[in-house]
Each structure stands twice: as structure tokens, then as C-alpha cells.
Amino acid sequence: IVQSILADPENVKWWQPSGELILLYIPMIGMTFAIFGLITIIFTFFSVDEKFHNNTSINEKNKISIVSAIQQIAVPIKDKKFRNFLVVRFLHSISGITLGILVFPFLVIVLKFKESEFFIYIIVSIFSKFTWYFIWRKILTKRSLTTRYFICIGLATIASLLELLFLLEFLSFELKIFIFILSIGTILGSMYAFPLFAIPIGATLVHEASYQEEKLNTSIAMSKLSGAYYGSLTFITSIGQALSSIILGFILSGPNENNPIVITFLISSMGIFYLISLLFLKN
């Protein structure tokens, strides 16, 4: 929305007129959402009744040494299935942050969007997420969870590689918009559908590991292992996002900042990471 009111979307340095508008509106928008988030947190805090804890006996916590804590962190890495799952989520985090960083440079520098044309992305984003969510939830329910996840990643791979078509200079603006809707819409729809498959698959792997650890009392084993498993997942996805940000920042420094060819290759590189993740998911 802010991009649509800029007179010159390609020149948005802080000392330029368009950059000054961004510095004016973005903090205001950010503060508005921050205040709304703070209100919801406060409301949740006072609306939840946890008085039942007063009637619950608190067991003495067992002290854990640093060595045992490190050993517990290493448990998910030793699990072959979960290790492959970590690699899948790591590669997806790289692709996700790549799209998040490059989407506006792509719209401005490659597609040359101006004014109300930026609303095309908003419309594509909203409708693609809801459409693909419905497809994965309703139409493909007869297939196994892993198969649906595989198909979802496969579509994201193909859609990402379609971005290479924007290297063809003879394409008309209308054809570019069609390819954009098809490719970005599929990528966004797939990305927002990933949790539909990743969360239950991750939970299943944790449950399997817990059963192998403690067959008589799986709940106790899950309480011991779930933190290590989900913690390692959060850690590895954060590493992927940070690594992607650093690499993109390095590549786009200097003359590559406004290079449409470089931006197109980078955004289509998501397909490579998705393709590699398919190999690990297969295992």
C-alpha cells in the first residue's frame, strides 16, 4: 500500500522524496500493529484463569548438568528421519526469507510496478493463500500426508523456476502479469500450506522417538524429548533465515542492487532449494 503512493518506487533512499514518505508511514504502521499486539497480549493475560495451579502439587525439579543438556540437544541430530526433516525445513526457511526480501525489488525493478499496480500483489497473495489452503485441505485428503507434502513442494519448485521466464525481454506486460500470478500465487499458496504437513509430520517423528525411548510411558519420554526436537527445529530454521539474509545482502550490494537479471536469478533460486528438499523428504 505504501509502495502504491510513491512517485518513484525505484529511488527510495532516505534522502529522496519517496524514501522520506517510507520513513514517515512505515514507523506509524509498525507502531499501530505493535500497540494492537500489546493490547491482545494484555487481554489474553487477564482473561486466562490459571487458579487450578494453586491446587496442584509442584514436583521438585531435577537439576540438569550442562553436559546432559548438550547431550539432549544432540538427540534429534542422531535421529535419521528427523535429521532429514530438519534439512527440509532448513532449505524451506532459506527460500521463504528469499521471497520475503526480494518480492518488492522484483515488483519494482523487474516488473516495473507503479502506483495501483502494487495492489495486484496484494490480491494475488490473499486469494492464492485461501485457494491453495482449500485445495490441500479438501481435494487432496485421500493421499498420504508425506505425499501431499511432496506434491506441495514440487509445485513450489516448478513455480519458482518459472520466474526465469522474466529474463525474456520480449514478453509483454500482460503476459508477465499472467506468469507472475501463476508463479508467485503457487509459491505463496504452497509456502502457507507447508505447516499443514510439516507440523503433523514433526509431531509424528517426535512421538516415534518417544516410543523408542520409553515404550511403557510415552508421555514421560515426550516431555523429555519434545523440547530438544522442537528447539532444534526452531534453531535450524533461524539459521537458514539468517544465512539467506547474509548471502542476499552480500550479492545485492553495489551495482547488483538494481540489476533485474540478478534479482530474477535469485528469486528463481528458491526452486533449487525446494528441489533439494524433495530429495531429503523422500528419505
The 3-class SS string of the chain reads: CCHHHCCCCCCCCCCCHHHHHHHHHHHHHHHHHHHHHHHHHHHHHHHCCCHHHHHCCCCCCCCCCHHHHHHHHHHHHHCHHHHHHHHHHHHHHHHHHHHHHHHHHHHHHHCCCCHHHHHHHHHHHHHHHHHHHHHHHHHCCCCCHHHHHHHHHHHHHHHHHHHHHHHCCCCCHHHHHHHHHHHHHHHHHHHHHHHHHHHHHHHHHHHHHHHHHCCCCHHHHHHHHHHHHHHHHHHHHHHHHHHHHHHHHHHCCHHHHHCHHHHHHHHHCHHHHHHHHHHHHHC
pLDDT digits (tens, 9 = 90+) for 56-77: 554 545 566 666 666 667 777 7
Q: Is the pLDDT of residue 162 over 70?
A: yes
| Cβ atoms 106, 268 nearer than 8 A | no
How far is 271 from 155, CA to CA, in rounded Å? 9
Residue 199 has pLDDT above 60, yes or no: yes
9 or 175: whose pLDDT is higher?
A: 175
Where, residue-wise, is CATH 1.20.1250.20 in the chain? 68-282
Please indicate whether residue 247 or residue 10 has the higher confidence score (pLDDT).
247
CA distance 182 to 152: 15
> What is the CATH architecture assignment of 68-282?
Up-down Bundle (1.20)
Q: pLDDT at position 57, please?
A: 53
Amino acid 90: pLDDT: 92
Q: What is the pLDDT of residue 272?
A: 92
Percent of the chain exceeding pLDDT 70 equals 81
> Which pLDDT score is estimated for 229?
78
Written as nine digits, the cell of 194 is: 507447508
Report how far apart, in Å, the C-alpha atoms of 88 and of each of 2, 179, 203 are: 34, 27, 15
Work out the end-to-end distance of the chain between its first and last CA atoms, rounded to an integer number of angstroms.
43
pLDDT for residue 274: 92
Average pLDDT (183-198) is 86
- Asked if residue 95 has pLDDT above 70, the reply is yes
The model's confidence at residue 23, banded by pLDDT at 50, 70 and 90, is confident
Find all residues with CB under 8 Å of 60, minimum gap 6, and list them. none
- For residue 282, is pLDDT > 70? yes
**Rounded to an integer, what distance in angstroms lies between the CA atom of residue 272 and that of residue 264?**
13
Q: Which of 32-41, 45-54, 222-231 has the highest mean pLDDT?
A: 32-41
pLDDT at 177: 87
Determine the pLDDT at residue 65.
62
Over residues 112-122, mean pLDDT: 79
pTM, two decimal places: 0.77
Q: How confident is the model at residue 9 (pLDDT cuts 50, 70, 90)?
A: low
115: left (phi over 0), alpha (psi -120 to 50) or beta: left
User: What distance in Å separates the CA atoms of residue 194 and residue 178, rounded to the nearest whole number?
Assistant: 24
Does residue 124 or residue 74 have the better pLDDT?
124
Q: What is the Cα–Cα distance from 280 to 278, expressed in whole angstroms?
A: 5
Mean confidence (pLDDT) of the chain: 80
In the numeric block, which cell numbers belong to residue 133? 489452503
pLDDT (0 to 100) of residue 7: 66
Average pLDDT over residues 207-219: 63
**Residue 110 predicted with pLDDT over 90:** no
